[in-house]
Amino acid sequence: MGLISFKDLHLDEVHDVLGGRGLLDRGPLIAEQAYRGVHGQFAQRFADIRGLSHRKVARLDDTFSLRALTLESVHEADDRSRRYVFRLDDGGVVESVLIPRHARWSLCVSSQAGCALGCRFCATGMLGLKRSLEPWEIVDQVLQVGRHAGVRVDGVVFMGMGEPLQNEGAVFQACRVLSCREGLQVSPRKIQISTAGVVPAIHRYTASNHRMDLVFSLVSAVPEKRALLMPIQKTYGFHELIDAIRAYAASRPKRHVTLEYIAIKDLTLGDDDIDAIREHLVGFPFILDVIPLNPVEGSSLETPGREEVRAWTERLRPLGFPVKVRLSAGQDRLAGCGQLGATLL
């Protein structure tokens, strides 16, 4: 029988596997000990876990593998954020970004190697899709960064490489593992999944009982501009997406929905953009996260000046919704939004 990847599993599933093989005869503690060791102490071998007898280590080694990504390099930016580059077993590369938030740490993780959606402002999109990640490959980004940086990651954002809702099963399983009580204990409320607008998956999510937050890459509120920037709009139209976002917002009446907006020079900071926001968005609780475009080689899109972004966002204030300007972490180390994978181009 082949080995099962331990980092793919929630504690309950580890129990089930061990129980199914008759290996829980000394009580369930072997599962808890192993889980705490791998997810809490970042053990890389069962033999390194304190308090596990040789017999238990042998049982675990006969049942599970502790497959791991290969950490290739770490790039620290002036703002203390760090870009981590990982090599996959099949030679692919994914990146994660550790972001300091006051006394806490968030990790921006990748859900795919490359991306099929080809957004025009994004280096990952220029790579095309290599493949989707398995749950353990997502979970291991968090484990390895926590181990390397010596920090407890308490927030996870799926805003790295890939469209998470095109890898739903693996992403949701990874979220289960990350929030397990004996593991990393990342609250589902501190997990954000950012989507470019895979409408059927948004509806499925709305109908589910998942507790993570969806975040929407609106990018532009003018349908024609958004279509130019995000080819996915040919598949799922602008109004279809807005309807899906409204239904999602209605299903979570106590929470604001975050819409990400990309500030692009001479493109998304006009009067028509304000009119479109007023026409299409006002009427449900949302926060507009305005992200100035991060430069990507090979793209003709330009970054606006800070003053231009500030002046434009000031003009949104009378519309009555919160607006935040979010400067991406780690731009000087190609760790900003839209920059992951830039070194692979």
CB of 97 to ligand SF4, least distance (A): 13
* Per-residue DSSP letter, 27: -
- Measured from the CB atom, the residue of 142 and 161 that comes closer to ligand SF4 is 161
Distance from C-alpha of 37 to C-alpha of 42, rounded to nearest angstrom? 6
CB of 162 to ligand SF4, least distance (A): 6
Whose tokens are 């990982």? That residue is 86
Is there a contact between 210 and 260 (Cβ–Cβ < 8 Å)?
no
- Measured from the CB atom, the residue of 64 and 158 that comes closer to ligand SF4 is 158
* Per-residue DSSP letter, 133: P
- Measured from the CB atom, the residue of 106 and 294 that comes closer to ligand SF4 is 294
**226: three-class secondary structure by DSSP:** helix
- Measured from the CB atom, the residue of 146 and 160 that comes closer to ligand SF4 is 160
Distances (CA, A) of 133 to 14, 25, 65: 21, 34, 17
**156: three-class secondary structure by DSSP:** strand
Position 27: which residue type? G
Dihedral Cα 77, 154, 184, 112, nearest 10 deg: -60
Catalytic residue among 108, 119, 175, 337: 337
- Measured from the CB atom, the residue of 52 and 113 that comes closer to ligand SF4 is 113
- Site for ligand SF4, rule CB under 6 A: 115, 117-119, 122, 124-125, 161-163, 196
Strands 104-108 and 213-219: unpaired
CB of 224 to ligand SF4, least distance (A): 18
Residue number of the CB atom closest to ligand SF4 = 125
Catalytic residue among 32, 95, 279, 308: 95
Q: CA nearest 9: which of 122, 173, 154?
A: 173
Distance from C-alpha of 304 to C-alpha of 206, rounded to nearest angstrom? 35
Is there a contact between 197 and 165 (Cβ–Cβ < 8 Å)?
no
Examine the residue annotation and report whether 337 is marked as an active-site residue of this protein. Answer: yes
CB of 93 to ligand SF4, least distance (A): 14
| Residues assigned a catalytic role | 95, 337
